[in-house]
């Protein structure tokens, strides 16, 4: 621990207020991830929409008493927070990095620093698998490799650790110099260099040279000599600091000369020459990226002088690295979060944050194994874990392992708990544990083989799945938020099952990120969100008289678009003795779908003035063609009509209301029409008609299936119903597990559509069936069971929509509910 006065000295802070010399153990950057209030120091980092200081009041109410703030937090502001310590600095991020760098200097352990375009996290985790028997290792959680993630990673180092492994990623020149000071690596690994994340650099050569700065003070760097730009950057660095370059590759000049790579059905044999010795390893992977990553790890083990036989044994036992948290539908109406990525106290906190986002069940269960190599005594470790679980309001704990069982008394604050010595013992008692209507987090070290528990808990469905990347949704949300004028609110459209992505799962995420409003099409969609624990205001766009009871019972706010629906809802409210009920007034300014016409405004004003039943939350309209430059004049005409109608309504409504007309495209094409709030729809899900905006978004949805069977079809033979496709030559036909009942359009039959198979497009052949589709995979290296991408990063849903003669909206919302949704965070 550091005292607050020590930290003030390290980060060169001005002490605005100090009540005591509090000990600090935890660094906090996100108010939603608070675990240990009394020993946390909050760094008030600002964002594009909110200053970091705006979170002080919330955290103070939760028991945090130590803050690092910038000049925007004045002495007048902090006076009301008696009992708190405030340190003021010029730049909060710089202060965070200074503190982490000072902490790193307190330890002399060897540290491996890893950078490169791809493979950093895989190599880090594989090195952990390969070396954890020889070292007590501290490493970056997940992919914590940014200007913020690296300081948090390094802060984990304590006296018990004997090896550190940290990632470093950059997006512009100047960043690596700061990360090098924090990590201070003694050994380096440069994985490769590619085009990804090159926006901030002049070219890839400059990016390679910048990344190489991580190794200015290392004694050794490991890299592939065949990567020309990496080799060039490190040779230039070597000329200045004379560090050792441990290279591998096809060149005989490489330190580890790769003589052959033999890819077999289920493994790869790699042979090499090293220091006049013939060496060989086998790895349980066959793809090119895994082979390269494994060779890099092999180099590290050779440098550390691990015995050749031990290296061969451990390489053969390498396990895949799951780099994401997955949320799946479970048995008995449960939700299952499977995190088999790693088992340590930091990744547990990350997983619990994800669990806390899920509001669909009031009951939360954690199944956790022993945590290995924490660097803490078992007593201190499990006491900390118990505190974290209680802070996150966990209802039930299931502990698996001899150590956690031994320290079960530490969990006295959790009433519902049970412990098992092994996974096998848990499995034997599984039927008696009665999992029902709860969200379950699985968090286990690999040796406990929690995969078996996952199979027991996850609902069995067919192999076609729609994967939803929650990180991408968050990224897209922020991309649009950064375009908003100060004070402009945001309403997210989650109608139609969130454009096919899922209802409460997406709403949970949006609520976690504190957006202002949600909008659904029908009342039953809003009811489902309320039952899943969503407390945000929800506007219902198509209110019906039959659903008035549901609206009021679940505090849903209807859109009123005609005198008929307005009068009916007013009568219902008066009969129920309800006044000032929140509603939204829809105006028709040219869309000609729903809404009051301009000729209705005078009568509408009289009606609203005379009625005490309503509280007007917002007045809004819908732009018909905000994405089209050809119709900008019409958009301006709509905006003018909307503004005029709002002015008339403001004269008769004695209080302010929210005005909004901008949809996804208008947020960036018509910034002058943002008014008080914008409505974000398809853009949230990664689709925008504007090419420049599209490039800033991330793909959210990936529809995947698998090959059920492969057949050889001779020339002249037909494929599918009605013999609509006849093979022109001997062909290889793969039947995949998706059809029009799953939402794959039937009009993509007979070559009109294609799917992504083994990094190539494979055309549809024959007619799309209800449950199956046939692909022509002639010339492709495929096997039964191989994964097939229907749409995703490689094959955008927009392209599939073009083939089908429709729009991405229709494709996304048409994915059948029988297709399992899998939600993940990377």
**Which alpha helices (DSSP H) does 578-631 contain, by range?**
601-610
Nearest to 557 by CA among 529, 577, 533, 532: 529
Nearest to 318 by CA among 126, 506, 457, 106: 126
Q: Which residue has the tokens 């549809």?
A: 764
Q: Which residue among 207, 392, 417, 495 is the active-site one?
A: 495
Give CA–CA dist 572/560, Å, rounded.
14
R_g of the chain computed on alpha carbons: 29
Q: In this structure, how many other beta carbons lie within 10 angstroms of the beta carbon of residue 88? A: 23
Backbone phi, psi, residue 439, to 5°: -100, 125
Residue 798 token pair = 């927009």
Give CA–CA dist 193/190, Å, rounded.
8
How far CA 80 is from CA of 22, 45, 221, in Å, comes to 19, 21, 53
How far CA 319 is from CA of 123, 126, 577, in Å, comes to 12, 8, 64
Residues 6+ apart with CB under 8 A from 125: 139, 321, 341, 342
How far CA 519 is from CA of 341, 546, 627, in Å, comes to 35, 19, 21
Give CA–CA dist 213/182, Å, rounded.
13
> Catalytic site residue 721?
yes
**Which alpha helices (DSSP H) does 11-91 contain, by range?**
56-61, 75-78
CA 151, 152, 155, 161 torsion-angle sign: negative
Q: Write the Ramachandran bin of 372: left for phi over 0, alpha for psi from -120 to 50, otherwise beta.
A: beta
Q: In this structure, how many other beta carbons lie within 10 angstroms of the beta carbon of residue 626? A: 24
**Which alpha helices (DSSP H) does 132-275 contain, by range?**
149-154, 175-183, 204-212, 228-241
Residues 6+ apart with CB under 8 A from 372: 132, 343, 445, 447
Q: Which residue has the tokens 């946390």?
A: 40
Would you say 733 and 774 are in contact if contact means Cβ atoms under 8 Å apart? yes
726-733 own/partner pairs: CB under 8 Å, 24+ apart: 729/778, 730/778, 731/765, 731/776, 731/778, 732/776, 732/777, 732/778, 732/779, 732/780, 732/782, 733/765, 733/774, 733/775, 733/776, 733/777
Hey, what's the torsion of the CAs at 144, 147, 151, 154, to 10 degrees?
Answer: 50
Q: 680-717 as b/e, with b when 16 or more CB fall inside 10 Å?
A: bbbbbbbbbbeeebeebbebbbbbbbbbeebeebeeee
Q: Which residue among 428, 478, 721, 802 is the active-site one?
A: 721
Backbone phi, psi, residue 544, to 5°: -125, 150
> Catalytic site residue 223?
no
Give CA–CA dist 87/8, Å, rounded.
7
Q: 516-535 as b/e, with b when 16 or more CB fall inside 10 Å?
A: bbbbbbbbebbbbbbebebe
Residue 24 token pair = 């600090």
How far CA 55 is from CA of 50, 307, 823, 825, in Å, comes to 9, 53, 29, 24
**HSE value, Cβ hemisphere, 13 Å, CA-based, for 415:** 4
E strand or H helix at 614, and its extent? strand 614-621
Query: What are the catalytic residues?
Result: 495, 721
């Amino acid at each position: 621990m550091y005292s607050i006065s020590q930290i003030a000295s390290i980060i060169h802070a001005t002490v605005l207020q100090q009540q005591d010399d509090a000990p600090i153990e935890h660094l906090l950057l996100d108010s939603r991830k608070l675990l240990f209030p009394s020993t946390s120091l909050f760094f008030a980092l600002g964002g594009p929409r909110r200053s970091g200081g705006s979170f002080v009041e919330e955290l103070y109410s939760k028991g945090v008493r130590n803050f690092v703030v910038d000049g925007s937090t004045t002495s007048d502001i902090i006076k009301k927070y008696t009992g708190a310590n405030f340190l003021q600095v010029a730049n909060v991020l710089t202060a965070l990095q200074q503190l982490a760098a000072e902490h790193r200097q307190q330890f002399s352990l060897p540290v491996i620093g890893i950078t490169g375009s791809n493979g950093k996290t895989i190599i880090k985790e594989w090195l952990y698998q390969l070396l954890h028997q020889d070292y007590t290792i501290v490493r970056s959680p997940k992919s914590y490799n940014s200007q913020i993630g690296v300081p948090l990673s390094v802060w984990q180092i304590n006296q018990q650790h004997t090896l550190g492994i940290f990632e470093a990623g950059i997006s512009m020149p100047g960043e690596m110099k700061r990360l090098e000071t924090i990590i201070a690596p003694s050994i380096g690994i440069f994985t490769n260099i590619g085009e990804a994340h090159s926006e901030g650099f002049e070219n890839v050569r400059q990016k390679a040279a910048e990344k190489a700065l991580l190794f200015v003070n290392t004694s050794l760097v490991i890299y592939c000599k065949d990567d020309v730009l990496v080799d060039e950057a490190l040779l230039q660095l070597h000329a200045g600091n004379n560090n050792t370059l441990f290279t591998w590759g096809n060149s005989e000049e490489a330190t580890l000369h790769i003589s052959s790579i033999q890819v077999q059905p289920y493994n790869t044999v790699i042979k090499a020459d090293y220091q006049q010795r013939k060496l060989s390893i086998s790895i349980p992977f066959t793809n090119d990226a895994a082979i390269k990553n494994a060779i890099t790890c092999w180099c590290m083990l050779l440098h550390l002088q691990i015995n050749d036989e031990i290296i061969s044994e451990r390489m053969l036992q390498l396990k895949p690295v799951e780099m994401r948290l997955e949320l799946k539908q479970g048995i008995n109406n449960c939700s299952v979060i499977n995190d088999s990525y790693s088992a340590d106290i930091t990744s547990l906190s990350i997983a619990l944050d994800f669990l806390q986002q899920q509001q669909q069940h009031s009951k939360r269960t954690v199944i956790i194994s022993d945590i290995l190599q924490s660097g803490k005594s078992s007593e201190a470790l499990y006491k900390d874990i118990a505190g974290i679980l209680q802070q996150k309001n966990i209802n039930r704990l299931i502990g698996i392992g001899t150590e956690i069982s031994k320290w079960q008394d530490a969990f006295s604050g959790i009433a519902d708990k049970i412990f098992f010595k092994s996974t096998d013992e848990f499995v034997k008692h599984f039927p008696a544990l009665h999992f029902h209507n709860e969200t379950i987090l699985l968090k286990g070290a690999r040796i406990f083989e929690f995969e078996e528990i996952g199979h027991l808990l996850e609902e069995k469905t067919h192999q076609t799945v729609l994967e939803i990347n929650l990180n991408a949704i968050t990224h897209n949300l922020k991309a649009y938020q950064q375009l908003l004028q100060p004070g402009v609110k945001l309403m997210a459209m989650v109608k139609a099952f969130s454009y096919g992505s899922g209802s409460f799962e997406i709403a949970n995420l949006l609520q976690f990120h504190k957006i202002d409003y949600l909008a659904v099409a029908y009342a039953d969609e809003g009811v489902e969100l309320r039952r899943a624990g969503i407390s945000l205001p929800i506007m219902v766009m198509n209110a019906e008289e039959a659903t008035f009871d549901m609206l009021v019972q679940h505090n849903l706010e209807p859109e009123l678009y005609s005198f008929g629906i307005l009068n009916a809802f007013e009568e219902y409210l008066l009969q129920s003795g309800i006044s000032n009920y929140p509603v939204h007034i829809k105006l028709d300014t040219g869309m000609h779908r729903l809404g009051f016409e301009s000729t209705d405004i005078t009568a509408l004003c009289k009606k609203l003035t005379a009625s005490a039943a309503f509280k007007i939350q917002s007045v809004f309209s819908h732009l018909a063609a905000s994405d089209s430059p050809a119709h900008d004049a019409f958009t301006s005409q709509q905006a003018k009509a909307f503004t005029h109608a709002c002015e008339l309504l403001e004269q008769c409504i004695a209080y302010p209301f929210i005005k909004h007309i901008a949809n996804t495209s208008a947020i960036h094409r018509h910034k002058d029409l943002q008014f008080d709030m914008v409505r974000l729809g398809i853009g949230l899900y990664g689709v925008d008609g504007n090419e420049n905006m599209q490039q800033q978004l991330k793909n959210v949805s990936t529809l995947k299936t698998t090959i059920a069977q492969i057949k050889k079809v001779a020339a002249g033979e037909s494929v599918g119903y009605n013999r609509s496709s006849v093979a022109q030559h001997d062909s290889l036909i793969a039947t995949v597990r998706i059809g029009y009942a799953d939402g794959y359009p039937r009009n993509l039959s007979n070559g009109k559509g294609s799917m992504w198979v083994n990094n190539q497009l494979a055309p549809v052949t024959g007619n799309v069936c209800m449950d199956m589709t046939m692909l022509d995979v002639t010339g492709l290296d495929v096997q039964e069971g191989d994964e097939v991408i229907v749409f995703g990063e490689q094959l955008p849903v927009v392209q599939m929509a073009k083939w089908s003669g429709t729009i991405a909206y229709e494709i996304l919302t048409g994915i059948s509910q029988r297709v399992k949704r899998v939600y993940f965070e990377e």
